[in-house]
Chain A
């Protein structure tokens, strides 16, 4: 049986850069270079591993975002994904998690899927709720935050580690999975992979193609509003001492003045 996997990925501002908000309180994508969210690389990796184990699998990477989001698709294609879908539309700017899940659900249905794999969260928004929302929209089981995942016939299984302990999960395909950074190191694109990626198909879609009313997404369609954004005041420079035998004692004295001991 042919298996259709869709990996949702996000092009995010580099977390090591000086990230900030734009005037309309959306994430400023111009001030910092973007890249494929590191946490999504784990999702691409798991899709490729399932594809290798299962055979007869097609891995599609899907992203929503402006033109430069193509870079994220290109990276995933060079890792080994077969094709890409890029949803882009001016009306999408400022879309919240609820709206994002709507666009993803329509694009996933439009493309056709047996399994969706996402990262555990984006490295910019960090909510970690889009996979659960996508499962809700699609009306399929969610197996989220998995540290390992396997597909066997029509069954998908995985281990979810949480505060309470470890849970083993099982559901029938179609399903939505998200994987954590514990699922296994992502591969680096090979030179051959990078060259091959240039010839892989990227399908361009807009909201009209997906039958989504523009009013439902974007800043105007968001069900939450950011009222105020304030840079956190820089921490006041602290005291730094060089340990010359008394460092531990000096630290204890500081903790004592702060009433911790």
Chain B
């Protein structure tokens, strides 16, 4: 079976769920090998975990360049592994950084690149990627026609499925060019840690918009989210008003989410927002305005005051969950 390289997304010494999803997808295409960069002391533990999800080999390097400089050191490490192993495809998580790494890597390898895939399958002439286009009003199936396919895949494209494999760590010696040291990361402030699940990875997302009315009132949204074990999202209107952080913005210029359940509260459903949540499996909404476009998308909608409906819902959820 041909080798499929998977760039491992990790943070704070642990592997992030999308990396396990990529390994799961990679098994459809060939034999997954993980590439683990800059994990430091956590390398062995992460490698063992990757082995549990189908990685035969774990190529790793922990040079300080991965943390000290932007994007390019990872491109060079992946490029060097790819030139040595001639993989059948390279999969990268569709984060902002992941997409940039994938694009620069593809250019160096003379390969086509597909970003933001929501599914990847084996095809007659290489992997076939499925994407959503124009605010998820179209589904597009694409293939790479030149070079080694480089594909970035969105979180939640599939569920991570355990599959025991060797997970053999193999250290790689990376040679960095001057270009790799072009953009220095002079300081880094970790995001405030939240007890809530990550927005792009969460199975349930509860969002608030203009109708929430103030920063304090987002407590109502957070209470519902916590009762469901959900992540909290916000529309651009709520973020622009300063009621909730930009890191929680759902929409074209924020995060694109595709959870099992999306609950929109006080959100009208402008195209900007729909672009970020339209592929959610089940959508429900609470809005005062019965004409709000969000109601065109919903499986279930309540026309009413969110400050009446949402606390009642939260109480019902708590009662159900005991």
Cβ of B253 within 8 Å of any chain A Cβ, yes or no, is yes
- Residues of chain A within 8 A (CB-CB) of B140 are 25, 226, 228-230
Cβ of B286 within 8 Å of any chain A Cβ, yes or no, is yes
Q: A236: nearest residue on chain B (CB-CB)?
A: B299
Whether the pair A137, B302 counts as a contact (CB closer than 8 A) is: no
CB neighbors of B among A1-23 (8 A): 15-16, 19-21
Whether the pair B182, A161 counts as a contact (CB closer than 8 A) is: no
Assuming A235-B296, A251-B313, A254-B300, is B246 touching A182 (CB within 8 A)? yes
Cβ of A167 within 8 Å of any chain B Cβ, yes or no, is yes
Q: How far is the CB of B207 from chain A (nearest CB, A)?
A: 15
Cβ of A123 within 8 Å of any chain B Cβ, yes or no, is yes
Q: How far is the CB of B88 from chain A (nearest CB, A)?
A: 16
Chain B's interface: helix, strand, loop or mixed, by majority? Answer: mixed
Whether the pair A167, B107 counts as a contact (CB closer than 8 A) is: no
- Residues of chain B within 8 A (CB-CB) of A255 are 261, 284, 317
Q: How far is the CB of A39 from chain B (nearest CB, A)?
A: 7
Q: In the bound complex, what is the Cα–Cα distance between A140 and B183 (angstroms)?
A: 9
Whether the pair A238, B299 counts as a contact (CB closer than 8 A) is: yes
- Residues of chain A within 8 A (CB-CB) of B22 are none
Cβ of A258 within 8 Å of any chain B Cβ, yes or no, is yes
CB contact between A128 and one of B96, B114, B301, B309 (< 8 Å): that residue: B96
- Residues of chain A within 8 A (CB-CB) of B204 are 260
Q: How far is the CB of A180 from chain B (nearest CB, A)?
A: 7
Mark contacts of A206-222 with chain B using CB atoms, 8 A cut-off: 1 yes-contact digit, 0 otherwise: 00000000000000001
Cβ of B190 within 8 Å of any chain A Cβ, yes or no, is yes
Q: How far is the CB of A122 from chain B (nearest CB, A)?
A: 11
- Residues of chain A within 8 A (CB-CB) of B309 are 243, 247-248, 251
Interface residues on A, range: 35 or more
Cβ of A101 within 8 Å of any chain B Cβ, yes or no, is yes
Q: How far is the CB of A237 from chain B (nearest CB, A)?
A: 8
CB contact between A15 and one of B113, B116, B252, B260 (< 8 Å): that residue: B252
Chain A's interface: helix, strand, loop or mixed, by majority? Answer: mixed
Whether the pair B138, A171 counts as a contact (CB closer than 8 A) is: no
Mark contacts of B291-322 with chain A using CB atoms, 8 A cut-off: 1 yes-contact digit, 0 otherwise: 00001111111111100111111111100110
Interface residues on B, range: 35 or more
Q: How far is the CB of A182 from chain B (nearest CB, A)?
A: 6
Q: How far is the CB of A136 from chain B (nearest CB, A)?
A: 5
Whether the pair B107, A241 counts as a contact (CB closer than 8 A) is: no
CB contact between B320 and one of A143, A161, A261 (< 8 Å): that residue: A261
Q: How far is the CB of A88 from chain B (nearest CB, A)?
A: 24
CB neighbors of A among B272-287 (8 A): 272, 275, 278, 282-284, 286
| Sampled A-B contacts (10; CB under 8 Å) | A98-B113, A126-B252, A167-B185, A224-B112, A232-B136, A240-B298, A240-B300, A241-B303, A245-B308, A248-B312
Could you list which residues of chain B lie within 8 angstroms of chain A, going by C-beta atoms?
11, 70-72, 95-97, 99-100, 102-104, 106-108, 110-116, 128, 132-147, 179, 182-191, 198, 200, 204, 228, 246-247, 252-253, 260-261, 271-272, 275, 278, 282-284, 286, 290, 295-305, 308-317, 320-321
Could you list which residues of chain A lie within 8 angstroms of chain B, going by C-beta atoms?
15-16, 19-21, 25, 39, 96-98, 101, 120, 123-124, 126-129, 132-133, 135-137, 139-145, 157, 160-171, 175, 180-182, 222-232, 235, 238-243, 245, 247-252, 254-256, 258, 260-261
